[in-house]
Amino acid sequence: MDPLISVVAPVYNEEALIREFHERVCATMDSLGEPWELILVDDGSGDETPALLDAIQGEDSDHVVVVHLARNFGHQLAITAGMDYARGEAVVTIDSDLQDPPEVIVDLVKQWREGYEVVYAVRAEREGETWFKLFTAGLFYRLIQRLTSVTIPMEAGDFRLLDRKALAYLRSMREHSRFVRAMTSWVGLRQSGVPYRRQARKAGETKYTVRKMVRLAIDAITGYSTLPLKLALWSGFVAAALGAVMAVVLTINRLGGTAPLAGQGFTASLVLFIGGVQMVMVGILGEYIGRIYDEVRQRPLYTVQEVRRKA
Ligand code: UDP
Ligand code: MG
């Protein structure tokens, strides 16, 4: 029987937690009394995770599908792969580190039954996060709201339910720089949120390094905003206006016989300033062009080593 609900979880070096995760998903999903599947996407783990996943799949082959990606592609691509393999009428994406309590899926499904096509789990509280994570996350969401045209519900992560209708649209979006939260918001349809308490990570450590977070932020901004490009135009206007004013001042000074505006130091600082602004703008252009280059190659989003599922 085809599953009604697919649960998709990205797994990257989670050997300490993955068994407990599977158990709690089982308990929750069984309580719903509908056919379900669990798609565990191994995102190129380097610890015991791959072997553990295969063992879990062997023991619970009625429910568990394991997709081994060929290397580490990152959280956003791992959930994309999982959604591609899902067969359910509704798909729930959830972190495998138990920060998103699987029990909340019951509430998501309830809202889905009421007719919502997208149901976000919204973090009403976060437990055990560092001040650095909270600060950068806050800054990030504020920046996204300001700079881009999409509205992402504040404090909604990648824990959500998608109806097959929303899923079909999301699957058709094959861009490489992916920020699934914004893509989901872009799809529209009837969206709703369910509050939950985000738990502290029980074991292991966050796989989101500062580098990965910065990458995600740049992806989100360049993907949904052309504001950085407009900066170049504005700074061009400002520099040109400054230049014009200075020319007038210099001319008046000269005609009035007073001393010239300033010496070489002043000239040098101007050259550095304008040069710097130009370099920054070229860099911003480069970010966009690099992304265009990434997209036009039309490579697959991820590569798969092996899929394990019941024959
Ligand atoms: N993850 C992944 N690939 C990565 C990094 C993370 O599949 O390159 C998974 C990880 O196993 C977890 C989820 O994505 O299930 C969220 O990652 P993490 O808990 O490290 O991020 P945080 O909750 O700290 O933002
Ligand atoms: Mg986590």
Q: How far is the CA of 214 from the centre of ligand 1 (A)?
A: 15
Q: How far is the CA of 122 from the centre of ligand 1 (A)?
A: 17
Domain that holds residue 144: 5-209+299-308
- pTM of the predicted model, to two decimals? 0.77
Protein residues with CB under 6 Å of any ligand 1 atom: 10-12, 14, 43, 72, 74-75, 78, 95-97, 99, 206-208
Domain presence at residue 221:
no
Q: Binning pLDDT at 50, 70 and 90, where does residue 265 land?
A: low
- Kindly state whether residues 198 and 256 are assigned to the same domain: no
Atom of ligand 1 nearest to the CA of 41: 7
Domain presence at residue 57:
yes
- Kindly state whether residues 283 and 304 are assigned to the same domain: no
- Kindly state whether residues 193 and 293 are assigned to the same domain: no
Domain presence at residue 215:
no
Q: How many domains does the chain have?
A: 2
- Kindly state whether residues 174 and 49 are assigned to the same domain: yes
Which of 92, 198, 207, 302 to mutate for ligand 1's pocket (most ligand atoms within 8 Å of CB)?
207
Q: What is the pLDDT of residues 286-305, one digit of tens each?
A: 888 888 888 898 899 999 99
Atom of ligand 1 nearest to the CA of 78: 7
- Kindly state whether residues 232 and 99 are assigned to the same domain: no
- Kindly state whether residues 76 and 199 are assigned to the same domain: yes
pLDDT of residue 267: 77
- Kindly state whether residues 24 and 93 are assigned to the same domain: yes
Domain presence at residue 121:
yes
- Kindly state whether residues 293 and 179 are assigned to the same domain: no
Q: How far is the CA of 280 from the centre of ligand 2 (A)?
A: 34
- Kindly state whether residues 293 and 304 are assigned to the same domain: no
pLDDT of residue 251: 77
Domain presence at residue 71:
yes
Q: How far is the CA of 198 from the centre of ligand 2 (A)?
A: 9
Atom of ligand 1 nearest to the CA of 43: 7
Residue nearest to atom 24 of ligand 1 (CA): 206
- Kindly state whether residues 131 and 204 are assigned to the same domain: yes
Atom of ligand 1 nearest to the CA of 129: 24
Please write down the HEC assignment for all residues of the chain. CCCCEEEEEEECCCCCCHHHHHHHHHHHHHHHCCCEEEEEEECCCCCCHHHHHHHHHHHCCCCEEEEEECCCCCHHHHHHHHHHHCCCCEEEECCCCCCCCHHHHHHHHHHHHCCCCEEEEEEEEECCCCHHHHHHHHHHHHHHHHHCCCCCCCCEEEEEEEEHHHHHHHHHCCCCCCCHHHHHHHHCCCEEEEEEEECCCCCCCCCCCHHHHHHHHHHHHHHHCCHHHHHHHHHHHHHHHHHHHHHHHHHHHHHHCCCCCCCHHHHHHHHHHHHHHHHHHHHHHHHHHHHHHHHHCCCCCCCEEEEECCC
Domain presence at residue 42:
yes
Between 260 and 46, whose confidence is greater? 46
Q: What is the pLDDT of residues 114-141, one digit of tens each?
A: 999 999 988 877 776 777 777 877 787 7
Domain presence at residue 222:
no
The whole-number average pLDDT for the span 181-191 is 87
CATH of residue 197's domain is: 3.90.550.10
Q: How far is the CA of 15 from the centre of ligand 2 (A)?
A: 14
Q: State the ligand closest to the CA atom of 201.
A: 2
- Kindly state whether residues 255 and 165 are assigned to the same domain: no
User: Could you give the percent of the chain with pLDDT greater than 70?
Assistant: 97
Atom of ligand 1 nearest to the CA of 72: 8
Q: How far is the CA of 266 from the centre of ligand 1 (A)?
A: 50
Residue nearest to atom 2 of ligand 1 (CA): 75
Domain presence at residue 219:
no
- Kindly state whether residues 178 and 68 are assigned to the same domain: yes
